[in-house]
Amino acid sequence: MIDYFKEAEKTLTELPMLKTSIKNLQERKTALSGVAAEPQPRTGKTHRAELTKSEEIWIDYRQTEKQIGYTRIVIDHIEQTLQQLDAEERIVLIFWYVDHAPKEQILQELHYESLTTLYNIKNRAVRRFALLYYGGRLFA
């Protein structure tokens, strides 16, 4: 059985890397765009081994475009799910998982008295994020 709590934590932690990957993919797409030329139609089936270098570059360019689109969808879904949380929960998750802020800083910024309070809010927020992001009855 999938541990949706851990998956939610992983998803939140990956958000900054996903945003960076968009920049990296766009740089790759730009580099490829200078040499990628749409291949001419062929008759019959062509195996990957029979492709010209230009055709391989074109395929890489198109795959990079798809990766950018898919990654944007994932980022948008994470951000939309965060927006559905209460402001307090969203802020805690962003500090904790996205910004990787020290717990003492989070306590100070949010004026919490104890780590117990912070952990309780963080755990509740992760459970709610997981339910909103993954759906279903996750925590029976």
pLDDT of 29 reads: 92
pLDDT tens-digit readout, 1-19: 678 999 999 999 999 999 9
Enclosing H/E stretch for 56: helix 53-83
Contact 130, 4 (CB under 8 A): yes
* Tokens (6 digits) for 90: 């969203």
pLDDT of 53 reads: 80
pLDDT of 139 reads: 54
pLDDT of 57 reads: 85
Give pTM, 2 decimals: 0.81
pLDDT of 1 reads: 66
pLDDT of 44 reads: 58
Between CA 83 and CA 92, with CA 86 as vertex, the angle to 5 degrees is 90
pLDDT of 37 reads: 60
Which residues of the chain fall below pLDDT 70?
Answer: 1, 36-50, 137-140
